[in-house]
Chains A and B, each alone.
Chain A
Amino acid sequence: MGPFATRCFIAFDALGVSGAVVSRKLGRPLVRSFASRALSPGALNPVPSERNIASPEEVRRAVKDVAESLAPGPSRVTLMLPDGVARIVLLDLPGDVNPAAFARFRLASSLPYPVAEAVIDGLRVGHGKFLAAAVRRSVVEEYEQTLAATALVQDRIDLSPLAAVSALLRQPVTARTVDVILGDAAVSMALHGGEGLSAFRGRRRDPGPDEMWRLRDEALRTLALAGNGTQPRIRVVGSGAGAAIGAFVAEGDTAEPGWRLDGQLPALAGAEHAWLGSALA
């Protein structure tokens, strides 16, 4: 797809389905339309190895509603899978290897299902590193089947955390920056060192009044584990980004949204949707 093409995205997460049609204007991404539909609790649970969609009919209806709200848009769509469905690992690539094949080799013994059932791909992040992700094929198929009720045709499937990292890497980033990428059910943290991305961690979210403080502790721990001191610059995107930034700033941290889409669509708080990274990258 060319750099000037209009692209359509449908994104899934535990709390809802959302989508956007994005094109480019003067080289910058322009969100032409955006829509979202809430899901009832438990309808969709992003996990790596078990069934994700407990209420297929409800999720299909939400996808159909979002697709119709986005019209007129292109017929080919990129599906964005939520954080929590994939095992994601940062790998050092040895010399001239095929990154996906190398990732398959390295991830084989650590997946909770046979590696033959895994769809593996990833993102080159510079300095000979590869952010590899594995998703169980049966899980991918569940999401693919939700397009059945629409006129949309699947173009490709991407993962929200990888899309976010991809977009965040395109911006100027200094060492000791921690990117916090929030999904409804899981959170990922990417640490930038002197030579690009130096660590990547993921965990389930634990919603509650103290969650943002725990997330801050986790971010500081990520920084300390890499031996980079305790004063990070934190960039946040995803579900609850505004609340997280408020909590971090209240503690004296330097925290900001990972990106801004100010003035494009009044209903769209861009940094609250990690999957939009796929449109920005």
Chain B
Amino acid sequence: MRDFSSNPRRAGGGRAAGVLLFVGGLALLLSLASLVRAWSENRRVGQRLQDERSGLRGVQTRLRSLEGARNPDRSRGLQAMLTLEASPPRVFQDLAKALPPDVRLNNVVLDYGNRLDVDMQVLARSAGAYDAFLARLEDGGSFENIVPGDENREGEVTARVEATYKAGTP
């Protein structure tokens, strides 16, 4: 039965609740120990991943600036063409097609340059929903160079995803 109480009443289980509490406490202690181990491992790997990503971004930025410097007129022309072929409503329409019901976008940045880079802050109710979103993004045909960024998988998944919009896709 639905209940909107500020402290919903729970059916009491007496002795059974006590036993469950004890078993639960024991399980909690064991899982805390393994959590600490996993956390330190995760931190080590995360730091390495971060270093690699920083390096990659540096190279990408340098590459783009070199391309722009080589031919600034061509660069501006591409930007104008992109704005026409990949207007924000169209990009958002394609993004919406890829969104499962239990995933939402908290922030989207469209960066019109030689190509259209899309930077998204994603919030998904579960890891499965987040993975489904990535799969639909890849399979939809409107985005490429999909790079899942920083993730936080404590309960809901918050993540950053970068992708390039393929202008001119039907």
Determine whether B5 belongs to the interface, using a CB cutoff of 8 Å to chain A.
yes
Contact pick for B125, options A102, A141, A144, CB 8 Å: A102
Contact indicator B102/A119 (Cβ below 8 Å): no
**Per-position binary interface string of chain B over residues 95-106, scored 1 when its CB falls under 8 Å from any chain A CB and 0 otherwise:** 000001110101
Contact indicator A140/B6 (Cβ below 8 Å): yes
Contact indicator A121/B156 (Cβ below 8 Å): no
User: Assuming the A-B contacts A102-B125, A105-B125, A105-B156, are A92 and B101 also in contact, with contact meaning beta carbons closer than 8 angstroms in the complex?
Assistant: yes
Tally B residues with Cβ within 8 Å of A. 15
CA separation between A137 and B4, bound complex, in Å? 9
Determine whether B168 belongs to the interface, using a CB cutoff of 8 Å to chain A.
no
Determine whether B9 belongs to the interface, using a CB cutoff of 8 Å to chain A.
yes
Determine whether A158 belongs to the interface, using a CB cutoff of 8 Å to chain B.
yes
Contact indicator A156/B6 (Cβ below 8 Å): no
On chain B, the residues within 8 Å of A105 by CB distance are: 102, 104, 125, 156
CA separation between A97 and B3, bound complex, in Å? 19
> Contact size class for A?
20 to 34
Contact pick for B101, options A94, A133, A137, CB 8 Å: A94
On chain A, the residues within 8 Å of B6 by CB distance are: 119, 137, 140-141, 144
Determine whether A123 belongs to the interface, using a CB cutoff of 8 Å to chain B.
yes
CA separation between A109 and B9, bound complex, in Å? 28
CB pairs A–B below 8 angstroms (17 shown): A1-B1, A81-B4, A94-B102, A97-B125, A101-B125, A105-B156, A121-B2, A122-B2, A133-B4, A140-B4, A140-B6, A141-B6, A144-B5, A156-B3, A156-B5, A157-B5, A158-B2
